[in-house]
Structure 1
Amino acid sequence: MKVHIRDASRADYPEIARIFSAVMPQRPLTAETLEHHLQILLDHPLRPHLREWLAEVDGEAVGQAMVFQSPSMFHPDRYHVELMVMPTHAQRGVGTRLAQEVEAHLHLRGAREVLAGAYEDQPHAVAFAQRHGLKEAMRVFDNVLDLGSFDFSAWDTQAQLPAGVRAMTLGELTREQGDDAAMRAYHSAFSEARLDVPRSGEATELTLDDFQKRAQSPNFFPDGVLLAVTDAGEVVALSELWRSPTGPQRLDIGLTGTRRAWRRQGLALALKLEAMRQAASAGVRELWTGNATTNAPMLALNTRLGFRPRPAYIEFHWGNV
């Protein structure tokens, strides 16, 4: 089998998204979403690096690799790698050829730290990462809730916000405050809450411009963003739902968090329950979320709510900056 490796371009995004979705059906990707994410990266003032390859056999795209720097956790010597091979061509040398291109490129770039990942139920992918010198850094469970069997009545007494705070969707807050003010209030709370999300490196500042571009994603769902808003108009907690490429019966949970001064008052739980209630009313059957194994409070909350873990995504790590 002859494998041809070439540089990938925007025209290849449908093929890259197809490969990504076949390898990781838990996290399906569309060409439109991929283009949106990569355009944010390319437009970012930090000028993060991006390089893409496609592996072809007899003219068919069967694998892809990407080296990039994440604006959300940026360091000039830290690189993220995504390398995926279609299940039909796995363990046939395609990944090895792509890895050779990636490793040569990282060497030229002088990379001092590399992050990559694979699901634990894909042992060949895990072994591949380990053979290339990467070690496990953290695990993130996919947690899934069956909304069809959820008993909301059992949680009525725990879905209350404190006095002076009301639950609003981002759409409602926008209609009340206007686009700019609502987005600034949402961004301010999000920026504080995200600092406590477990990650492999220090978080980079998320500017308002970056945040507004994030909200332009094809999967962004303004009426799925639940906010706890004070009488003064300050957002003090949030729980996000995002559309899924799998269809209208699934939504993905983004960030759920609370400003530090407002914690331990049940705000995150109340918002998550309200988001779940609205999703169920709209006919959504499943909610998916990712929880790092080190995030004990959120894992405990989701377990109480009835989320059940699926195989974990393992983040691998090499080097240090």
Structure 2
Amino acid sequence: MRIREAQPNDAPAVVALRALVFPYVVRGVESTRKMIAEPPPEEAWTAFVAEVDARVVGWVSAERIGTTSIANFGGINLLHVHPEHRRRGVGTALLAAATDYLRPLGIRRVRAVALPDALPFARRHGYEPSREVRYSALDLNPAPALPEPPAGVRLRPVADLDPRLLYVADVASAADEPGDVPVDAKSYESWQYEVWDNLGLDKAASTAAVVDGAVVAFSLVKRDGDRMWSDYTGSVPAYRGRGLARLTKAAALHRAAASGVRIAYTSNDEANAPMLAINARLGYRPIAAQWSCLAELT
């Protein structure tokens, strides 16, 4: 078993491994390749793979979380190991590589995620469960009907928008999103990399509600073939309670289905009751759970 830094040509093997362990997480080969080759700005991002006989059997990424005002906070993301290679020290070695990378950056507190059956592993390494995240799926056959917007509201694909208008709405809507840390320091450059320039973003299906030239609600679609990920749906605080988040999500699902998407996935913090209610009304069904877990680096 060998642990090494991920390389761009690992992307197909990494995506295949992810599809096996997390079939509901939609990330394509090209977007994964770009992330490895051109890491996100401001986040000191890196990734490691575990190899056995030249075959990728494990993955983890590590970063300084640059979207929060909390200093020295890091993330260890989607650590996973091929089922045939578990309980052989692969996960422990990947976690050690990620931790050893973060410590010299001055990171003092770390968030990781764990499947429910991996919580004993997390606890053994000093991570305590913090928040439960629900993964849900929606069969898009039949697709939701294209909704009719209320007076004064226009539904537009984000391809037609100035991206800075979408960025402003994203920042405003995310400020009170449930989570371990506030999302209150997202720069335009970081957002542009993560969202607007993401190779998986379907700008024709992603939909915004526009009032008087401003984006007041939106739903973003990341796509890989006939699968999609509802990356983020939100509305700015002044326009909440009007059904606009559900409106934009239904429109995005309709447009994605019309272009060949057959199944949609999403995730939500279990404390995010409004979004969970929207998903239930749209017909999403729970399919999996994960826990965010927190640890101190000493």
Instruction: Name the TM tier (shorter chain).
Output: 0.7 to 0.9
Residue equivalent to 2:154: 166
> Is the Cα–Cα contact under 8 Å of residues 253 and 287 in structure 1 kept in the other structure?
yes
Within a 5 Å distance, the mapping from 1:197-236 to structure 2 comes to 197-213=177-193, 214-230=195-211, 232-236=212-216
With 109-118 and 251-260 compared, the bigger mean Cα shift is at: 109-118
Deviations, residues 179-207 of structure 1 (Å, cap 9, x unaligned)? xxx22222221221122322211214223
Query: CA–CA distance in 2 between the matches of 1:285 and 1:31?
Result: 19
Query: CA–CA distance in 2 between the matches of 1:105 and 1:318?
Result: 15
Deviations, residues 33-75 of structure 1 (Å, cap 9, x unaligned)? 1243356645x2x4x3334433222333322333221322365
Query: CA shift at 1:163, angstroms?
Result: 2.1
Cα RMSD of the aligned pairs, angstroms, is 2.7
Structure 2 spans left out of the alignment, 5+ residues? none
CA pair 105-283 structure 1, distance change in 2 beyond 3 A: closer
Query: CA–CA distance in 1 between the matches of 2:170 and 2:98?
Result: 34
> Is the Cα–Cα contact under 8 Å of residues 254 and 289 in structure 1 kept in the other structure?
yes
Please identify which structure carries the higher helix content: 1
Pair 1:141 & 2:134 matched: yes
Pair 1:251 & 2:239 matched: no
Task: State the one-letter code of the partner of 1:259.
Answer: V
CA pair 12-280 structure 1, distance change in 2 beyond 3 A: closer
> For 1:184, which of 138, 153, 164 is the aligned residue?
164
Secondary structure of the structure 2 residue equivalent to 1:217: coil
CA pair 151-67 structure 1, distance change in 2 beyond 3 A: closer
Deviations, residues 97-153 of structure 1 (Å, cap 9, x unaligned)? 333444444555553211111223xx2x3321121121111121111112224674x
Secondary structure of the structure 2 residue equivalent to 1:71: coil
Residue equivalent to 1:294: 271
> TM-score normalized by structure 1?
0.81
> For 1:72, which of 67, 74, 82 is the aligned residue?
67
CA pair 161-67 structure 1, distance change in 2 beyond 3 A: same
> Is the Cα–Cα contact under 8 Å of residues 18 and 29 in structure 1 kept in the other structure?
no
> TM-score normalized by structure 2?
0.87
> Is the Cα–Cα contact under 8 Å of residues 173 and 234 in structure 2 kept in the other structure?
yes
> Is the Cα–Cα contact under 8 Å of residues 70 and 80 in structure 1 kept in the other structure?
yes
Deviations, residues 225-271 of structure 1 (Å, cap 9, x unaligned)? 211112x311111122221x3x22x2221222212111222222222
- Highest Rg: 1 or 2? 1
Pair 1:127 & 2:120 matched: yes
> Is the Cα–Cα contact under 8 Å of residues 17 and 31 in structure 1 kept in the other structure?
yes
Residue equivalent to 2:92: 96
Residue equivalent to 1:278: 255
CA pair 256-99 structure 1, distance change in 2 beyond 3 A: closer
> For 2:83, which of 83, 87, 102 is the aligned residue?
87
CA pair 169-84 structure 1, distance change in 2 beyond 3 A: same
Deviations, residues 286-308 of structure 1 (Å, cap 9, x unaligned)? 22111110000111121122111
> Is the Cα–Cα contact under 8 Å of residues 146 and 287 in structure 1 kept in the other structure?
yes
Task: State the one-letter code of the partner of 2:133.
Answer: V
Residue equivalent to 2:237: 260
Pair 1:239 & 2:222 matched: no
> For 2:22, which of 21, 24, 49 is the aligned residue?
24
Task: State the one-letter code of the partner of 1:133.
Answer: G
Residue equivalent to 1:178: none
